[in-house]
A = this chain, B = another copy of it.
């Protein structure tokens, strides 16, 4: 069986940047997981003493608080600053952007629609910048019962599929005088999704490696599954099953934006070893 990596996969710009920031700030703590990959977080704790707190009120004045790639809600950031916590911002710049858009658009009087998962930290953060609130939806159907004004601004979670974003835009455009569509889906997402689309069309078994709570990994898996029914979303090599590879010719591999190369390499090594 041949193993082929997708043309684009794994760590994105924002994740690389955040890990570098964390590594440069030993003896700090992130507020919430820095990225959606528990193994990489464990490595940062072990090698760089970067801890993890789930409560922003746990930071004392002078403590170093690293803000996760997904960003945090505005009021929590304001609390940290007001309490003289040493804030180290590792929010991905592609996430800061929709936060700014939400703030500017609500100040300019637009109703705001966010395409994304309301329970995801990125979206909780982005939504908090809409000073008059925002509607968070994952499908046009959810908009049917919402009364919006004539002017609507639309932003997307950075890791979403563009086809689904367009479906929401297409619902709004005929119903409103102006729809201001901000393309906040990040390029890494576009590129990784395109590469999975291509690879899963020819592979007969696909592995998508990444955190089970990682939004972008879940999107990659859903694209892969549509093309290749033998697609598996795993966090690491411990989940591999030999039966997946029986009589297969090409195993395609991709990984989410928060999956480090060393985990991908461990998976490849384990497959090769099992096939020996």
Query: A: which residues have CB within 8 A of B?
Result: 162, 165-166, 169-170, 173-183, 185, 190
Closest CB in chain B relative to A180 CB, distance in Å:
5
Closest CB in chain B relative to A156 CB, distance in Å:
10
Q: How many copies of this kind of chain does the complex include?
A: 2
Closest CB in chain B relative to A117 CB, distance in Å:
20
- List B contacts of A175 (CB < 8 A): 183
Identify which of B165, B179, B185, B190 contacts A181 (C-beta below 8 A). B179
Other A-B pairs, 11, CB within 8 Å; known A162-B173, A173-B181, A175-B183: A162-B174, A165-B173, A166-B173, A169-B170, A169-B173, A173-B183, A176-B183, A177-B183, A179-B181, A179-B183, A181-B181
Identify which of B170, B173, B182 contacts A177 (C-beta below 8 A). B182
Bound Cα distance A262, B169 (Å): 41
Bound Cα distance A125, B82 (Å): 55
User: Residue of B at shortest CB range from A178?
Assistant: B182
Identify which of B169, B177, B190 contacts A169 (C-beta below 8 A). B169
- List B contacts of A185 (CB < 8 A): 174
User: Residue of B at shortest CB range from A172?
Assistant: B181
- List B contacts of A176 (CB < 8 A): 183
Closest CB in chain B relative to A150 CB, distance in Å:
9
Closest CB in chain B relative to A183 CB, distance in Å:
6
Closest CB in chain B relative to A162 CB, distance in Å:
5
Bound Cα distance A177, B180 (Å): 11
User: Residue of B at shortest CB range from A101?
Assistant: B178
15 CB-based A-B contacts, threshold 8 Å: A169-B169, A169-B170, A170-B170, A174-B183, A174-B185, A175-B183, A177-B182, A177-B183, A178-B180, A178-B182, A179-B180, A179-B181, A179-B183, A180-B181, A181-B181
Identify which of B166, B179, B190 contacts A170 (C-beta below 8 A). B166
Closest CB in chain B relative to A209 CB, distance in Å:
26
Which of A165, A173, A180, A190 neighbours the largest number of chain B CB atoms within 10 Å of its CB?
A173
- List B contacts of A173 (CB < 8 A): 162, 165-166, 169, 181, 183
Are A178 and B169 in touch, CB under 8 angstroms?
no
Bound Cα distance A13, B253 (Å): 59
Closest CB in chain B relative to A59 CB, distance in Å:
34
Are B180 and A180 in touch, CB under 8 angstroms?
yes
Bound Cα distance A79, B261 (Å): 67
Closest CB in chain B relative to A193 CB, distance in Å:
11
